[in-house]
Amino acid sequence: MKNVADKISALKRNGHKVLGCFPLYPPMELFYALDLVPVVLWGLKDAIKSTAESDRHLQNYTCSVARHLTEFVLTEGSGMLDGIFMYNACDTLRNLPEIITNATEESGRVLPLISIHIPMALPEQTDASAYFKYEINELITTLEKRFSRMFSKEKFKQVVIKTNQLRKLMADAEKLVASGTIGFSDFSQAIHACWFSTLEDQSGILEALIAGGKKGESGGQGERTGVILSGILPPPASVIEAIESSGLTVVGNDIASLGRAYASMPQVSDNPDSYFLDFYYQHFPCPTLLYSGDRRTTSLFGLVDDSGAEAVIFIGEKFCEYEYFEFPFLSKQLNDRGVKTLEIEIDIDDDAHTSAHRSRIEAFAEMLKSTPTH
C-alpha cells in the first residue's frame, strides 16, 4: 500500500493516537476500546523505497516483512507513531524491540514500546491461561497509564461486536473474489487499507468494495479453475495478474494478512482476558501461533473442500522459516488428496523480476486445465 504514511498522517491530523503493531494478530479490539488506532505494520513493501536504515541493523537474510517494518519505524514512521506494540512470534521478530528501541534512542527520539508474551504451549498439554489473562490485564493497565485512558467493559463489547461485523464483511468480499466479480488485487489492497484505518473507515472501505463487486455479478463467468493462495502476504500485483490472466480464480485464501486475520470469529464478550484467550487459542491456524500447528492441515483441507479449489499456490516469503518448514508436509498431504500445489518464492525486490513466476504460473494453469479434477 503506497499511501501508508499519508493514511497515518491523516489519522494524526484527526487527533488519533496511533499504535504501530507487529506481528500479525495484535489484540486490536482492546486498542480500539481505549480510543487508540492500531496500525499493523505489514504489507509495507510499496511504501518503502529502500531499506538503507534497516540494513544497518538487520542481516540481509531477514524476511522483507521485518526489513520493511524496521525501515518504516526508524525513518518515515518514527515521528508519526505514538508507540509500538508487539508480542512474541517468530525468531526474526523476537529481538526487534531491542533493536528498534536502541536505534530510536541513538537518534534522540523516544518511541514507547509495549509488549506482551503469548504462551505458545499447546493448551491441551500446558494450561497457561492464568498467565495469559495476567498478561492481558497488565496490558490494559499499561495502556491506561501511558495514554491516560480508562478501560470500559461496555465499550469493549461494542468494539468486539463491530469487529466481528467487519470480519464478516471481509469474508463476504472474499466470496465475491471467488465468484470472479472482485479482482484479488483490489480485494487484498482494500483489506490492507483496513489495517491502517479506524473502525468506521473500515466499514466504508469494505462496503464500497462489496457494492462494486455486486454491480459486476450479472456479468457471468466463463470456465474458471479455482485456486487457494497460502502464505504470509499476498503476492505482488504482477503475480496476481499472472494468476488471474492464466484463467485461475482465487476461490479462497490462507494468507496471514488476509484470511488468517479475519477468519476467526471469537465469542462476543465484555471480558477482555477471556475474549482474547478465545481469540488466540481458537485462532485460524498460522505457523507463527505454534500451538495452532496441529490444526493447520485440517483447516487447509476445509478451505479446499468448501471452495472447490483444484490447487493451492504457496506464496513463500523468502527467509520465513516458519512457513517454509511446513510447505513440504502440506504439499504432500494435499497431493495425496489429488490437490495440485505450486510453490513460488517472493524476494524483497521481486516486484521487478516476476517473469519467471509468470512462466511457472502459466505452465501450472495449463497443467490444471488438462488434468481431470480430484
Task: Give the interface with ligand SF4 as residue ranges (CB under 6 A).
Answer: 23, 63, 65-66, 89-90, 92-93, 232, 288, 317, 320, 322
Least spacing, CB of residue 67 vs ligand SF4, in Å: 9
Are the CB atoms for 118 and 288 separated by under 8 Å? no
Grid cell of 337 as nine digits: 488428496
Q: Which is nearer to ligand SF4, 89 or 159 (CB)?
A: 89
In terms of CB distance, is 66 or 240 closer to ligand SF4?
66
Closest approach, Cβ 288 to ligand SF4, in A, equals 5
Residue 225 C-alpha cell reads as: 479453475
What is the Cα–Cα distance from 213 to 299, expressed in whole angstroms? 27
Cα–Cα distance, 211 to 255 (Å, whole number): 23
How far is the C-alpha of 163 from the C-alpha of 150, rounded, in Å? 20
* CA–CA distance, 146 with 139 (Å, rounded to integer): 10
Q: In whole angstroms, how close is the CB of 62 to ligand SF4 at the nearest point? A: 7
DSSP for 181-233? SS-HHHHHHHHHHHTTS-HHHHHHHHHHHHHHHHHGGGG---S-EEEEEEESS
Least distance CB 116 / ligand SF4 (angstroms): 17
- Distance in Å, CB of 232 to ligand SF4, minimum: 4
Residue 113 CB, nearest approach to ligand SF4 (Å): 17
Upper half-sphere CA count for residue 42 (Cβ side, 13 Å)? 26
Q: Which is nearer to ligand SF4, 226 or 234 (CB)?
A: 234
| CB burial readout 146-158, b (16+ within 10 A) else e | bbebeeeeeebbb
Eight-class DSSP state of 314: E
66 or 348: CB nearest ligand SF4 = 66
The nearest distance, CB 65 to ligand SF4, in angstroms, is: 4
* 31: enclosing H helix or E strand: helix 28-33
Spatial separation of the C-alpha atoms in residues 208 and 214, rounded to whole Å:
10
Closer to ligand SF4 by CB, 32 or 314: give it. Answer: 314
The CA-atom distances, in angstroms, between 35 and each of 29, 272, 346 are 10, 15, 36
- Residue closer to ligand SF4 by CB (options 43, 213) is 43
CA 76, CA 94: separation in Å to the nearest integer? 23
Asked if residue 171 lies in contact with residue 258, where contact means CB atoms within 8 angstroms, the answer is no
Determine the 3-state secondary structure of 17 from DSSP. Answer: strand
Least separation in angstroms between residue 89's CB and ligand SF4 is: 6
CB of 200 vs ligand SF4, minimal distance in Å: 29
Give the residue with the Cβ less far from ligand SF4, 185 or 288.
288
Q: Which is nearer to ligand SF4, 44 or 194 (CB)?
A: 44
How many residues in the chain?
A: 374
Nearer to ligand SF4, 66 or 339 (CB): 66
